[in-house]
A and B are shown apart, each in its own frame.
Chain A
Amino acid sequence: MTIWKFMRTMVAAVGMAAAGFALAVEAQAASLNDIISRGTVRIGVLTGAPPMGMVDEQGNPTGYDVDVANLIAGYLSLPVELVPLTPPARIPALQTGKVDFLVATLAPTGERAKTVMFTQPYSAFNMDIISGPDQKFAKLADLEGKRVAVNRGSSQETALRKAAVPGLEIVVYEDDSTSAQALIAGQVDAVALPSTVGEAIIKQRPDAGLQVGFTFFQQGNSMATRMEDFEIRQWLNTAIYLMKISGDLDKIATKWTGRPMPALPTF
């Protein structure tokens, strides 16, 4: 008797949950005017990946992305609401309308371009393989049979999977700093990090004896909008063009990475 009652409750609970999700989720197409009439612009920035995005001593978002986001908001003449996002949360936050667009060190990839729309690159860095004090790697083939940490859904994860080094085990963490922590703790042999992030971590932890092995590709980063927001994307491209010719973008790049922005092909 009781078992049946329990079974009934169980079926009802599963059914209710399924029904709740079946309701269609509406995604609003936004225009630049919607943002302006709302009075604030919500920009998603990266967090947990110094120097591109992190928090300062007061807990406020800071970094390359934040400077660019503030500059963009300045072009719009609107107060900015920065939404710090971990790498795996970036695209979902954009899709669910939590942010108007991303300035979150997101690299354009073919796979991602099926889901979001990319602007021209606004930052770039080298992707490095970094190891501990006991071993050093000079090329991809050296990683055979090794464990390499990457952050989930990152372009370095995609690139390493594509490289298909035999016996290479890719270990996935939530962000760059956890991946680096895994190397420092000796849980992995190496970590794939943007050179900017790698340099910052090597500087912060000189005791760990981390060393840069080799650069396995150069990554450009774009802002991203939802698929239907053509108008916002076109405006962002215009703003990036203006930031480039005014020299503001080079100033931000020099401030955070120590060198001006490398010239990248545009699309």
Chain B
Amino acid sequence: MSYTFQFGVLAQYQDQILSGICLTIKISVLSIVLGCAAGIVLSSIRSIWGGTVRFLVDAYVEIIRNTPFLVQLFIVYFGLPGLGLRVGADTAALIGMTINLAAYSTEIIRAGIEAVHKSQIEAGEALGFTRFQIYRHVIIVPAIAKVYPALCSQFVLMMLASSICSAISTQELAASAAFIESQTYRSFEIYIAVTLIYLVLALALRAVLAVVGMWLFGRRVARRTMTALPEVQA
């Protein structure tokens, strides 16, 4: 007996799917903006100050990069109330994703900063740039331009990993899919549809990031962004 696909049942749940897509986009975009900003700040801080500050930033980066995202989410959602800080599922998801992405962004941008050759900074000094001008024009912007494709891959991974937030009852796309599945038991149809939606979302996000890259850093960087495919997350 061969399986009969019934995609028709999905039609009556389009509101759930749409609201799931909206929340996925919302928490992804917000966490990308906040996480990236935090990454720029933290990687700058650790390159300017050494000693304890650098140690603390590195410790944060390594702790987040070497623990599962699901556990980080559980700590924010189930752990923080123990300290008297109660946040809702959507906020917890956003906090968890931002904390996670900030660590990865810091690490990626750090690589870019370290790739700026010393002679470039010396050239900046020779031209009479102030320290802030050197930081801005010689260090941070070229550094981000160098690592922009890697950064974009991480953003796409984070968007896909937002599906994990369904475990703490955030009603994003994967949670919508699970809800529809629990109502209809049409698992194949729903997960096929959701796979395609995530694929389109990821490709659209990549296209948007390429346009942003072109606007910020010019054509060459943008081209690399579009051709680089996301790495597979373990």
Do A182 and B78 form a contact, CB below 8 Å, given A14-B196, A91-B185, A152-B179? yes
Q: Chain B's nearest CB lies how many Å from the CB of A62?
A: 24
On chain B, the residues within 8 Å of A214 by CB distance are: none
B82 at the interface (CB under 8 A from A): yes
Q: What residues of chain A lie closer than 8 Å to B3, measured between beta carbons?
A: 24-27
Evaluate contact between A181 and B78: CB separation under 8 angstroms.
yes
Question: Is B86 an interface position by the 8 A CB rule?
Answer: yes
A260 to B1: give the CA distance in the assembly, Å.
41
B51 to chain A, nearest CB (A): 37
- Closest B residue to A171 by beta carbon equals B169
Query: Size band of the A side of the interface?
Result: 35 or more
What residues of chain B lie closer than 8 Å to A112, measured between beta carbons? 185
> B167 in the interface, Cβ–Cβ < 8 Å?
yes
- Please indicate the chain B residues that have their CB under 8 angstroms from the CB of A116 in the complex: 185
Tell whether, in the assembled complex, residue B81 and residue A24 are in contact, meaning their CB atoms are under 8 Å apart.
Answer: no
State whether A115 touches B185 (Cβ < 8 A). Answer: yes
Query: B203 is contacted by which of A14, A95, A174 (Cβ under 8 Å)?
Result: A14
State the CA gap A174–B182 with chains docked (Å). Answer: 11
Q: Are A26 and B77 in contact (CB under 8 A)?
A: no
Are A182 and B185 neighbours in the complex by a CB distance under 8 Å? no
User: Is there a chain B Cβ closer than 8 Å to A185's Cβ?
Assistant: yes
Whether B81 lies near A187 (C-beta < 8 A) is yes
B184, chain A: closest CB distance, angstroms: 8
B interface footprint on A1-36 (CB within 8 Å = 1, 0 otherwise): 011001000100110011001001111010000000
A82 to chain B, nearest CB (A): 22
Please state if B77 and A152 are interface contacts (CB–CB under 8 Å).
no
CB of A18 within 8 A of CB of B196, answer yes
B10 within 8 Å of A (CB atoms): no
Q: Are B2 and A152 in contact (CB under 8 A)?
A: no
Q: Are A26 and B2 in contact (CB under 8 A)?
A: yes
The answer, among B81, B200, B223, for a CB contact under 8 Å with A186, is: B81
Q: How far is the CB of A254 from chain B (nearest CB, A)?
A: 32
B-contact 0/1 string along A102-120, CB 8 Å cutoff: 0000000001101110000
- How many residues of B are in contact with the other chain, CB < 8 A? 36
- Confirm or deny: A231 has a beta carbon within 8 angstroms of a beta carbon on chain B: no
A228 within 8 Å of B (CB atoms): yes
User: Once the chains bind, are A14 and B178 in contact (CB under 8 Å)?
Assistant: no
Residue with the greatest number of chain B CB neighbours at <10 A, chosen from A88, A112, A181, A187: A187
**B195 interface residue, CB < 8 Å from A?**
yes
- How many Å lie between the Cα of A3 and that of B214 in the bound state? 11
Asked if A114 and B185 sit within 8 Å, CB to CB, the answer is: yes
**Given A14-B203, A27-B1, A153-B182, A185–B187 Cβ distance below 8 Å?**
no
Contact residues in A for B81 (Cβ distance below 8 Å) = 185-187
| B203–A111 CB distance below 8 A | no
Whether A185 contacts B82 in the complex (CB less than 8 A), given A14-B199, A25-B188, comes out as yes
Is A172 close to B, CB under 8 A? yes
The 8 A CB mask of B169-188 against A (1 = contact, 0 = none) is: 10000010011011101011
- Do A187 and B86 have beta carbons less than 8 Å apart? yes
Chain B residues with Cβ under 8 A from A10's Cβ? 203, 207
Please state if A27 and B199 are interface contacts (CB–CB under 8 Å).
Answer: no
Contact residues in B for A65 (Cβ distance below 8 Å): none
Question: B134 at the A/B interface (Cβ < 8 Å)?
Answer: no
- Inter-chain contact A91/B82, CB cutoff 8 Å: no
By the criterion CB–CB under 8 Å, are A172 and B175 in contact? Answer: yes
Choose one: B167, B185, B199, B207; the contact of A6 (CB below 8 Å).
B207
- Residues 188-203 of chain B, each 1 if its beta carbon lies under 8 Å from chain A, else 0: 1000100110011001
21 A-B pairs, CB-CB below 8 angstroms?
A: A6-B210, A10-B203, A14-B196, A18-B196, A21-B192, A21-B195, A91-B185, A92-B187, A111-B183, A114-B185, A152-B178, A152-B179, A153-B178, A157-B182, A172-B178, A173-B167, A173-B168, A178-B167, A182-B169, A187-B77, A187-B169
10 closest A-B pairs by beta carbon, nearest first, are A153-B182, A115-B185, A92-B187, A185-B78, A25-B3, A6-B226, A185-B81, A21-B192, A10-B203, A24-B2
Chain A positions near chain B (C-beta within 8 angstroms): 2-3, 6, 10, 13-14, 17-18, 21, 24-27, 29, 88, 91-92, 95-96, 111-112, 114-116, 149, 152-153, 157, 171-174, 178, 181-182, 185-187, 228
Q: A2-B219, A173-B168, A185-B79 are in contact. List 6 more A-B contacts (CB 8 A).
A: A6-B226, A17-B196, A27-B1, A171-B169, A173-B167, A187-B77
